[in-house]
Structure 1
Amino acid sequence: MTLKAPTHHISAQPGEIAKTVLMPGDPLRAKFIAENFLEDAVQVNSIRCMYAYTGTYKGKKVSVMASGIGAPTMGVHAWELYNLYDVENIIRVGTTGAIHDELKIGDLVFALGACYNTPYADQYKLSGTFSAVASYPLLRDAVDKADQMKAKYMVGNVYSTDIFYPEYDREENERWSKMGVLSVEMETAALYIVAARAGKKALSILTVSDHVMTGEKVSADIREKNFTDMMKIALEIAE
């Protein structure tokens, strides 16, 4: 079977999605980015409310599309964007729960790598454990831009988990923290794995929305609309 765009999950026609796509998990954050940062933005997908828009930012064609929650939905959408829409760069702009003592609400996390418990990479039947890592050119440009903006950030490992509500082992995040992992989220590992297989670029720029260890958190409305530094950095480095 030959696959081609549009798909069951993305209704955009070939050519309607830019080479660089920003991917928040939240569809309303995708809408917020399109309405507040893109010029002449046009909605190109609404299937399952995974809103996607294409417009321009400082003269560059850029798309933004929601990924939804977790590895499976990120994997589906990223795979189709890379393989069927000729996307070259996906930059995740999402929220994350801090497990590192030095991270505060609103700080940025650049995911150099992603530890994970998802079986997503099992499909490739590798004889060892795959390291899910960012594309260095995107990471370098993002860090440089963050320095110019004087944004507070850390670079390092995140933990991508399939389990939001653990049934038994509630100390797991503490053990990951002892290994230097910065924060917990659900999509980065799948994105990096799909990008590696497709030979494309990927980066996760995350904003701390809560601290797992202290219980501090912010509202959904703040998560949707207030964490703009990661959006600006991603748009500035879009190719």
Structure 2
Amino acid sequence: LVISQSAQAENAQSGQVFGLYGPAGADPALLACALAKAAELGIDHCAGLTVCSDIFYHPEGRGRFADAQAAGALGVDMETSALYRIAAHFGARALSMCVVVDNIETGELTDYSERQALFTDMSRLALAVAAES
């Protein structure tokens, strides 16, 4: 489970729409709550940077996100940066949690039962954070 502390888009959406460049961040209180609840519930997790791309399965294939990974990025998705930018723009709170089920670097896929367990843990954590907030 990856709890997105911040997100960096590789496209121009943030700059064109919001005039902002650089990483977008999670709501600090939601992030702190998620980290505490994950530990309390015994859910294996990590928190850090998520890279956002509007082309998830890029034609360049493996190695596409090597620079981001070297800089400490934990995962790639398509939505987190936009979610954080929109929340900040409208004064809302946001937190993104993602499970890694397809490894675009190695091609490894998570089997169905493990995938279900990951989604269950993420759902338990999301509900615990929502109930606390």
The TM-score, its normalising length taken from structure 2, stands at: 0.85
* Unmatched 5+ stretches in structure 2: none
Q: What count of residue pairs does the alignment treat as equivalent?
A: 129
Matches within 5 A, 1:197-216: 197-216=89-108
Which structure dedicates a bigger proportion of its chain to strand? 1
Looking at structure 1, the residues matched to 49 and 39 of structure 2 have their Cα atoms a distance apart, in angstroms, of 19
Looking at structure 2, the residues matched to 233 and 168 of structure 1 have their Cα atoms a distance apart, in angstroms, of 34
Write out the 4+ residue segments of structure 1 that deviate beyond 4 Å after TM superposition.
Answer: 219-223
- Aligned match for 1:123, one of 11, 17, 20: 17
Looking at structure 1, the residues matched to 129 and 60 of structure 2 have their Cα atoms a distance apart, in angstroms, of 41
The aligned residue for residue 161 of structure 1 is 53
Which structure dedicates a bigger proportion of its chain to helix? 2
2:7·2:81 contact (CA, 8 Å) conserved in 1? yes
- Aligned match for 2:82, one of 181, 184, 190: 190
The aligned residue for residue 33 of structure 1 is none
How far residue 169 of structure 1 moved from its aligned partner, in angstroms, is 6.5
The aligned residue for residue 113 of structure 1 is 6
| Aligned CA-pair RMSD | 2.0
The aligned residue for residue 174 of structure 1 is 66
Alignment CA distance shift 1:168-1:206 (3 Å):
closer
Looking at structure 1, the residues matched to 49 and 120 of structure 2 have their Cα atoms a distance apart, in angstroms, of 22
2:8·2:22 contact (CA, 8 Å) conserved in 1? no
Alignment CA distance shift 1:210-1:113 (3 Å):
same
* Unmatched 5+ stretches in structure 1: 1-107
The aligned residue for residue 236 of structure 1 is 128
Matches within 5 A, 1:27-42: none
2:56·2:76 contact (CA, 8 Å) conserved in 1? no
Q: Which amino acid aligns with 2:10?
A: N
Alignment CA distance shift 1:159-1:220 (3 Å):
farther
Alignment CA distance shift 1:178-1:130 (3 Å):
closer
